[in-house]
Amino acid sequence: MVANCLFCKIAKGEIPVDKLFEDDDLVAFRDIAPQAPLHFLVIPKRHLAGPNGMVGGDEFLIGKIMAAGARLARENGVESFRFVVNEGAEAGQTVFHFHLHVLGGRAMAWPPG
Ligand code: AMP
């Protein structure tokens, strides 16, 4: 738990969210400002700032997050979706606790802006 980390607080249940799934390692919840008909985030419960903060052993955790994101997209009626992970402010990261965006339910443009 990192003090003043919004997603650590969400992981601990201190801030209410529209939760889709939770287990010992991760929480999935709908984004508060959805950018697609389906837009949710999957976060590790343990604080990890972003991909640059990954250390040995985190590969399994991130793989588990991706598998949960895909499964939850399908369970919410979306077979085609986009995963986004922003690393650093220039890439658009605003919350510095790793989160996988899962977006679907509309056509996506490429390249992203
Ligand atoms: P990023 O810009 O990649 O760091 O994404 C942060 C995401 O967190 C944004 O899409 C926000 O809309 C979302 N967000 C911020 N606060 C909350 C919250 N309390 N509940 C759900 N999503 C949130």
> Is position 111 within any domain?
no
Bridge partners (DSSP) of residue 21 are 28
- 99 in active site: yes
pLDDT in tens, 69-99: 999 999 999 999 999 999 999 999 999 999 9
| pTM across the whole model | 0.98
Is residue 109 included in any domain, yes or no?
no
The atom number, within ligand 1, closest to the CA of 84 reads 3
Is ligand 1 within 6 A of the CB of residue 86? yes
How many of the other CB atoms lie within 10 Å of CB of 29? Answer: 21
Residue 93 beta carbon below 6 angstroms from any ligand 1 atom? yes
Which domain does 84 fall in, by range? 6-104
Distance 33 CA to ligand 1 centre (A): 7
pLDDT tens digit string along 4-45? 999 999 999 999 999 999 999 999 999 999 999 999 999 999
Query: In the 8-state DSSP scheme, what is residue 112?
Result: -
- Gap between the Cα atoms of 112 and 108, Å rounded: 9
CATH number of the domain within which 58 lies: 3.30.428.10
Residue 22 lies in a domain: yes
Residue 112 lies inside a defined structural domain of this protein: no
